[in-house]
């Protein structure tokens, strides 16, 4: 035992630093902050699509006009079932109008006139780039919205592959999940 404290030796410091580094790595591996952020963004996406699904269903029920003008706002004509008549995307639509909830935004349904489900502005993907974005499509009679989930939690749970749609790499909701490939 040393009687006089003379600080730490270099080796002792290195050992302490190494232990701290290992502990930090273990903590990151266990908690995985990046995965937590992905999960939180996925939760927002799932909520967004659930809200839109509800709002579109209510809008379609409350509307009195033709199906074409409801699901493809302002359009007329005879739709071809299964053929996309109108489409919108949170990333590629003009940023000045993409969040409009009156049918001119990326969802081509006027959600602003209905009373039951309030949608003041359309949601966009939490990241909203070329990989993570929302897409709306309708053939005038049915509709589909797609989003891309990113967390291991949702991927492992098969959320995108077991949604009843035709694309295992996107999460699909709507009345016709075959509209978007
Ligand atoms: Ca899918
Ligand atoms: Ca689809």
Give per-residue pLDDT as tens, 35-85: 999 999 999 999 999 999 999 998 888 877 667 889 999 888 888 999 999
**Distance from the CA of 110 to the center of ligand 1, in angstroms?**
26
In the chain, the number of structural domains is 1
Q: How far is the CA of 168 from the centre of ligand 2 (A)?
A: 9
Residue 54 to residues 58, 60, 114, 118, Cα–Cα distance (Å):
6, 10, 12, 10
Considering every ligand atom shown, identify the ligand nearest to the alpha carbon of residue 181 and give its number. 2
144, part of any domain: yes
| Residue 16 covered by a domain | no
Query: What average pLDDT does this structure show over 159-170?
Result: 96
Q: Residue 171 C-alpha to ligand 1 middle, in angstroms?
A: 5
pTM for the structure as a whole: 0.85
CA of 173 to the centre of ligand 2 (A): 8
The CA 177 to ligand 1 mean position distance, Å, reads: 8
Which structural domain, as residue segments, surrounds residue 100?
A: 33-174
Residue 121 lies in a domain: yes
Q: Which ligand is nearest to the CA of 145?
A: 2
């Amino acid at each position: 035992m040393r009687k006089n404290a003379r600080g730490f030796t270099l080796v002792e410091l290195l050992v302490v630093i190494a232990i701290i580094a290992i502990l930090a790595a273990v903590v990151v591996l266990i908690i995985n902050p990046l995965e937590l952020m992905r999960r939180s963004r996925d939760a927002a996406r799932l909520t967004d699509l659930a809200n839109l699904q509800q709002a579109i269903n209510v809008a379609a029920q409350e509307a009195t006009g033709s199906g074409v003008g409801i699901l493809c706002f302002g359009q007329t004509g005879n739709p071809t079932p299964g053929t996309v008549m109108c489409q919108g995307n949170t990333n590629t639509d003009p940023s000045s109008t993409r969040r409009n909830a009156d049918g001119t935004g990326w969802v081509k349904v006027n959600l602003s006139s209905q009373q039951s489900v309030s949608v003041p502005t359309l949601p966009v993907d939490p990241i909203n780039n070329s990989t993570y974005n929302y897409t709306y499509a309708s053939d005038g009679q049915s509709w589909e919205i797609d989003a891309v989930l990113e967390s291991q939690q949702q991927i492992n749970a098969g959320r995108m592959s077991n949604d009843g749609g035709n694309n295992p790499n996107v999460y699909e909701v709507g009345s016709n999940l075959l509209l978007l490939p």
